A = this chain, B = another copy of it.
Amino acid sequence: MKLLSSPLSPYVRKVRIAAAMKGLQGKIEMVPADTNPGDNVEINRANPLGKIPALVIDSATTIFDSHVICEYLDSLAPSPVLFPKGGLERFRTLTLGALADGMLDAALLLVYETRFRPEEKWHAPWQARQQGKIDRAIDQLELAPPAWSTSPDYGHLTLACALGYLDFRHDGRWRTGHPKLIAWLDRFAAAMPAFEATRPQV
């Protein structure tokens, strides 16, 4: 399998951690792919949206997005279980994943605001709108950081990658006033060596 990827993408990081948790790193070839130009033919052929990660399974089958790829990897090996099979437990995990992906989407839009626009076209109310999504999510998570039993699951690893991205690109401002969530991320990192091993570095 080939993973179109970048060491700086938080969505790719999710997949790399999932692969490590399932013992599948050796089966995935990492293919560097730069999404910034927007006209990267190889990426656009794999995913017309021009986004990574995309997992090329064989010449006929490419799957995305990071949620879908993580669930696919989960299906390839029995343990640990990243996606609970059913019941409300499954939908709580998926909702935590959607919350963390939404934090990432907002955090990316804030980065793109300054990367893809000249400064005179930055728009403070739009930036505040995206920042509000992140801030509310952080505040809610601080009330009761999501526990795991034997091993973190897909929801937890997605949240860890979202917080890691806020550390990487947003100066870790989320940390102020959120000691329980900081402790939560430290516990995740201690439980999951792949988190440190995939830390983005410029």
Interface 1/0s, chain A 110-154, versus B by CB < 8 A? 001000111011110110010011001101100000000000000
Contact between A95 and B62 (Cβ–Cβ < 8 Å)? yes
* Interface residue SS majority, chain A: helix
Is the C-beta of A172 less than 8 angstroms from some C-beta in chain B? no
Could you tell me how many residues of chain A have their Cβ less than 8 Å away from some Cβ of chain B?
Answer: 48
Return the contact of A121 from the options B116, B123, B137 (Cβ within 8 A).
B123
Is the C-beta of A94 less than 8 angstroms from some C-beta in chain B? yes
Number of copies: 2
Residues of B within 8 A of A99 (CB): 47-49, 64
Is the C-beta of A79 less than 8 angstroms from some C-beta in chain B? no
Please, which residue of chain B has its CB at the minimum distance from the CB of A95? B63
Contact between A139 and B98 (Cβ–Cβ < 8 Å)? no
Contact between A48 and B136 (Cβ–Cβ < 8 Å)? yes
Q: How far is the CA of A77 from the CA of B102 in the complex (A)?
A: 28
15 A-B pairs within 8 Å (CB atoms) are namely: A38-B132, A48-B133, A49-B102, A49-B136, A50-B132, A57-B88, A61-B88, A63-B91, A63-B92, A64-B98, A71-B91, A116-B123, A116-B126, A117-B126, A121-B123
